[in-house]
Amino acid sequence: MSSRQAIHRLDYTPPSYLIDRVDLTFDLDDTQTKVTSRLIMRRNAGVAAGSPLVLHGEELRLESIKLDGAPLPKDAYQVDENTLTIADMPEDGILEIDTLIDPASNTSLMGLYQSNGNFFTQCEAEGFRKITYYLDRPDVMAKFTTTIIADKAKYPVLLSNGNRVGAGTLDKNRHWVKWVDPFKKPAYLFALVAGKLVVLSGTHNTQSGRTINIEIYVEPGNLDRCHHALAAAQKSMAWDEERFGLEYDLDTYMIVAVSDFNMGAMENKGLNIFNTKYVLAKPETATDVDFDGIDAVVAHEYFHNWTGNRVTCRDWFQLSLKEGLTVYRDQEFSSDIGSRAVQRISNVRALRTSQFAEDAGPQAHPVRPDEYLEINNFYTMTIYEKGSEVVRMYETLLGREGFRLGMDLYFKRHDGQAVTCDDFRAAMADANNVDLEQFERWYSQAGTPRVSASGVYNAGAQTYTLTLKQSCAPTPGQTQKLPFHIPVAIGLIDRRGQDLPLQLVGEPESTATTRVLQLREPEQTFTFINVPCLPVPSLLRDFSAPVVLEYDYSDDDLAFLMAHDSDAFARWEAANTLACKLIKQLYAQDAALPLAAPDNFIAAYRKLIAKPAGEALDPALIALMLQLPQENYLLEQLSDVDPTRLAFVCQSIKQQIARELRQELLAAYQQLNDGTPYHYNGEQVARRSLKNVCLDYLAELDEAMVGSLLADQYRKADNMTDRLAALKALVNRTGGDGAETQLADFAGQWIDDALVMDKWFTLQATSRRQGTLGRVQSLLNHHAFSLKNPNKVRALIAAFCLQNPQHFHAADGYAYAFAAEQIIALDAINPQIAARLASCFNRWSKIEPKRRELMKQELERIRDHEGLSSDTFEIVSKALAG
């Protein structure tokens, strides 16, 4: 366990010593892997002679240590739980260190570990110190060579970063392979893989005329599921050349899939390691969403080669420098290869449901945090998703070309360096000759700003004056917030639904129909002239800033925007706002009153699906607009919440929509369910998404016809998207038998397929039906489940605790106790995963007092558990303090 000592951003000092070269040799063994390390070191410029060298190291058995060829005497160095210190280090020298490690008993999945008998590493953020003694910090960059020795039959494939430069056989059926990485890198980008793997290869020809080999390594039997990932890598390479002028810099790009992995994937130089979930897919086993996810994650890891690897972070407080920027890049990639509008709406929905909650809760932290106990806890929605929004705002403010100029300057200045978020902002400002001082507050201030808007139309003068006010609530440790620099994109729409040309006072002519207003003050007004009639404002188009926008729209205005706004995001947002408004109203009304949505609400929804073949609107957009807001999102907008009532209200409205739009939904479903063989392409994905949203509504109807429709789709589907959609609807159906037959059928078919079984676990964990907690508890004993496998924990336990608010917040508190038990059990196995799960208690203060007290008791129980990791301790203690 690492010590519970907070690390502060402002305490940063450059390293006292640097490492220019590292030669590693691994002699692989399940329980006694020998790691030989040779470090060519020198004292950093300006550091006083006699400064001690402090290397990081955890859970290592030190076998020998030599300096410049001579064994170090015992009193020349000191070893404790986390460090190895040499008090008297010369100005330069070669350190040779032998250590022994035990991969077989490594359940944290950090450092070197085993999965299905193969060896893998995960070093970000601080896993390399579990492999050997090192300066395990991102601003120490070295050139690595890696020699791997292993049993030839058990581990025929031996991989590491860079280029393979040699191989040979040894006695006792062993063999070796040597790798050289020509690029200097921090230790967190080191990787090693050894195992019985097969490979799918392809190539990419770069714009400069080089041929890159792309290799995807998977366990035998999975080769037929790698084609989508390979295509994604090829598309990513082409896209980064096209959009940012960035080419891949090694001759081979390798992806390896592993089933036991703490997160999605990892961008190790030249050797990306991926969770199988983001590599393996074929139509029978993966849904459209899975295919999208593979595109996004492959792109993300590949793009890190420049934004993260070539230019890396000076320290972990700068994590969003690489993560926010790379998420922005992968979102742009997905927008370019698919539907930009759908991509934007999905990203915003995720941001607002999870990141806004984080920003409003006890774990709130700035995009560039100021302190942490465990850096692993800071791979958050704020660092990633809000960080990406911050990067997107540069583009919104500077234009796409200006943004590109900034990126070019960033690489020109910092290639090969470890830098800060300020360096990135400076490149953007300098390349465009603009002042981005105030913009810095997006990095330093936590919390979601609120922008409230009000408009006044003057018919005589034909002016429309828009007033924008901003504020930001206090967050832990930050009581006073200064105004942000907020780009607010707006349009004005006339009564016929046409965008009006926009001309601000003082401008000679109107330029466009969408304008980015720059809000820098607590309050600002913007007056538009030549406005011929009272407009409906369309605000925060394309979600131009990560803020909560408040404007007092009438229901009629919202229905109007739903039907007419030319901005796809704003159009979806109008539907979302209308539904939120209604749900909140019904939730607040006397519980004895009937729950009914008014006619105008139903009419607005009817209009959406009346022409499902998608004359004007993309079916995928209609699908998004038809879906009611998520309960977790609504919960954030209420206080003292009774989650049971909230779930009941949402359910009632869904049922009412299904009843009143039965005909339209059925007609749309039948038209879309046309038996076309499955292909993963934009048009089909869009049609399937609308079809399955219709199906989901229809499942609310207690009619035998619907039962057979669902059973038919389940049985006949030639792909996982449709099959799973039908099964999900069956599992949740109030009238049915809980789909016992189909669940058994599904498990029977896929029992040996870990990724497909994850879906089966999640369906049951997120079910609305009575008895879901009991079901989840018994599934813990299912032989396909394992607490040691993070995918399984996410599929079953995390899905229940984080995506099933109705059952997680059951009034008896049993689910809270269940979550606490699981967190405690997991903490002993894998602290990172336990800490993630513990976030299910973050919003306890939002919930009504009785449940709140129950949640608090469970938090205290976890906090007081003896031997708790610092990962889980940090999350739980902050939750309690909030």
Kindly tell me which of 59 and 683 has the beta carbon lying closer to ligand B3K: 59
Q: How far is CA 261 from CA 269, 481, 598, in A?
A: 18, 38, 48
Kindly tell me which of 263 and 820 has the beta carbon lying closer to ligand B3K: 263
CB of 301 to ligand B3K, least distance (A): 5
Residue with tokens 């105004």: 483
Residues 323-352 that bind ligand B3K (CB under 6 A): 323
Residues 406-445 that bind ligand B3K (CB under 6 A): none
Q: CA–CA separation, 305 vs 1, rounded Å? A: 32
CB of 391 to Zn ion, least distance (A): 13
Tokens at 761, concatenated: 């676990």
Q: Does 376 bind ligand B3K (CB under 6 A)?
A: yes
Kindly tell me which of 189 and 547 has the beta carbon lying closer to ligand B3K: 189
Residue with tokens 């030669």: 23
Residue choice 119, 372, 379, 526 for contact with ligand B3K (CB under 6 A): 379
Kindly tell me which of 326 and 713 has the beta carbon lying closer to Zn ion: 326
Q: Does 374 bind ligand B3K (CB under 6 A)?
A: no
| Alpha carbon distance, N-terminus to C-terminus of the chain | 25
Residues 53-112 that bind ligand B3K (CB under 6 A): none
Specify the 3-state DSSP secondary structure of 784: coil
Give me the catalytic one of 124, 219, 267, 301: 301
Binds 124, which of ligand B3K, Zn ion, none (CB < 5 to 8 A, cut-off by type)?
ligand B3K
Of 69, 22, 15, 10, nearest to 45 by C-alpha is 15
Binds 664, which of Zn ion, ligand B3K, none (CB < 5 to 8 A, cut-off by type)?
none
CB of 174 to ligand B3K, least distance (A): 32
Residue nearest to ligand B3K (CB): 124
Q: How many residues bind ligand B3K (CB under 6 A)?
A: 12
Kindly tell me which of 108 and 307 has the beta carbon lying closer to Zn ion: 307
Strands 252-258 and 211-218: parallel
Residues 257-316 that bind ligand B3K (CB under 6 A): 263, 265-267, 300-301, 304
Tokens at 165, concatenated: 């430069």
Binds 263, which of Zn ion, ligand B3K, none (CB < 5 to 8 A, cut-off by type)?
ligand B3K
- DSSP codes joined into one string, 621-653: HHHHHHSPPPHHHHHHTSSSB-HHHHHHHHHHH
Of 299, 115, 108, 132, nearest to 193 by C-alpha is 115
Kindly tell me which of 313 and 840 has the beta carbon lying closer to Zn ion: 313
Instruction: Pick left, alpha or beta for residue 529 (phi over 0 → left; psi -120 to 50 → alpha; otherwise beta).
Output: beta
- Is the backbone peptide bond immediately before 265 cis, with ω within 30 degrees of 0? no
Contact 225, 219 (CB under 8 A): no
> What does the per-residue mask of binding to ligand B3K show for 140-179, with x meaning CB under 6 A?
----------------------------------------
Binds 439, which of Zn ion, ligand B3K, none (CB < 5 to 8 A, cut-off by type)?
none
Q: How far is CA 596 from CA 627, 652, 836, in A?
A: 17, 8, 38
Kindly tell me which of 124 and 389 has the beta carbon lying closer to ligand B3K: 124
Binds 181, which of Zn ion, ligand B3K, none (CB < 5 to 8 A, cut-off by type)?
none
CB of 331 to Zn ion, least distance (A): 12
Kindly tell me which of 300 and 792 has the beta carbon lying closer to ligand B3K: 300
Binds 139, which of ligand B3K, Zn ion, none (CB < 5 to 8 A, cut-off by type)?
none
Binds 240, which of ligand B3K, Zn ion, none (CB < 5 to 8 A, cut-off by type)?
none
Contact 207, 301 (CB under 8 A): no
Tokens at 112, concatenated: 């070197």
CB of 323 to ligand B3K, least distance (A): 5
Binds 379, which of Zn ion, ligand B3K, none (CB < 5 to 8 A, cut-off by type)?
ligand B3K
Contact 185, 309 (CB under 8 A): yes
CB of 402 to Zn ion, least distance (A): 24
Torsion, CA 761, CA 767, CA 773, CA 776, rounded to 10? -10
> What does the per-residue mask of binding to Zn ion show for 324-343, with x meaning CB under 5 A?
--x-----------------
CB of 370 to Zn ion, least distance (A): 21
User: Residue 430: what residue type?
Assistant: D
Kindly tell me which of 107 and 452 has the beta carbon lying closer to ligand B3K: 107
Binds 837, which of Zn ion, ligand B3K, none (CB < 5 to 8 A, cut-off by type)?
none
Q: Does 124 bind ligand B3K (CB under 6 A)?
A: yes
Contact 451, 548 (CB under 8 A): yes
Strand-by-strand arrangement of the 118-122 sheet = 111-115, 118-122, 192-195, 157-160
Q: CA–CA separation, 204 vs 239, rounded Å? A: 12
User: Residue 131: what residue type?
Assistant: I
Q: Check if 700 is active-site.
A: no
Kindly tell me which of 323 and 385 has the beta carbon lying closer to Zn ion: 323
Radius of gyration of the chain (CA): 28
Kindly tell me which of 97 and 125 has the beta carbon lying closer to ligand B3K: 125
Q: How many residues bind Zn ion (CB under 5 A)?
A: 2
Which range touches Zn ion (CB under 5 A), out of 176-184, 185-193, 323-331, 689-697? 323-331
CB of 97 to ligand B3K, least distance (A): 25
- DSSP codes joined into one string, 185-251: B-GGG--EEEES-EEEEEEEE-TTS-EEEEEEEE-TT-GGG-HHHHHHHHHHHHHHHHHH-----SS
- DSSP codes joined into one string, 12-64: ----SEEEEEEEEEEE--SS-EEEEEEEEEEEPTTPPTTPPEEEE--S-EEEE
Q: CA–CA separation, 542 vs 398, rounded Å? A: 16
CB atoms within 10 A of CB 774: 11
Binds 608, which of ligand B3K, Zn ion, none (CB < 5 to 8 A, cut-off by type)?
none
Q: Does 255 bind ligand B3K (CB under 6 A)?
A: no
Which range touches Zn ion (CB under 5 A), out of 322-330, 671-679, 759-767, 840-848? 322-330
CB of 300 to ligand B3K, least distance (A): 5
CB of 379 to ligand B3K, least distance (A): 5
Kindly tell me which of 125 and 427 has the beta carbon lying closer to ligand B3K: 125
Residues 6+ apart with CB under 8 A from 574: 553, 557, 558, 559, 560, 561, 562, 565
- Residue 158 backbone dihedrals phi, psi, to 5 degrees: -125, 115
Binds 277, which of ligand B3K, Zn ion, none (CB < 5 to 8 A, cut-off by type)?
none
Residue with tokens 């097969």: 198
Binds 266, which of ligand B3K, Zn ion, none (CB < 5 to 8 A, cut-off by type)?
ligand B3K
How many helical (H) and strand (E) elements, i.e. helices and strands, does the chain have? Answer: 29, 31
Kindly tell me which of 124 and 423 has the beta carbon lying closer to ligand B3K: 124
Of 609, 606, 454, 596, nearest to 539 by C-alpha is 454
Q: Does 125 bind ligand B3K (CB under 6 A)?
A: yes
CB of 188 to ligand B3K, least distance (A): 8
Q: Does 380 bind ligand B3K (CB under 6 A)?
A: no
User: Can you name the residues that pair with 548 across neighbouring β-strands?
Assistant: 450
Residue with tokens 């002993």: 828
CB of 148 to ligand B3K, least distance (A): 23
CB of 389 to Zn ion, least distance (A): 15
Residues classed as catalytic: 301
**Residues making contact with Zn ion (CB under 5 A):** 323, 326
**Residues making contact with ligand B3K (CB under 6 A):** 124-125, 263, 265-267, 300-301, 304, 323, 376, 379
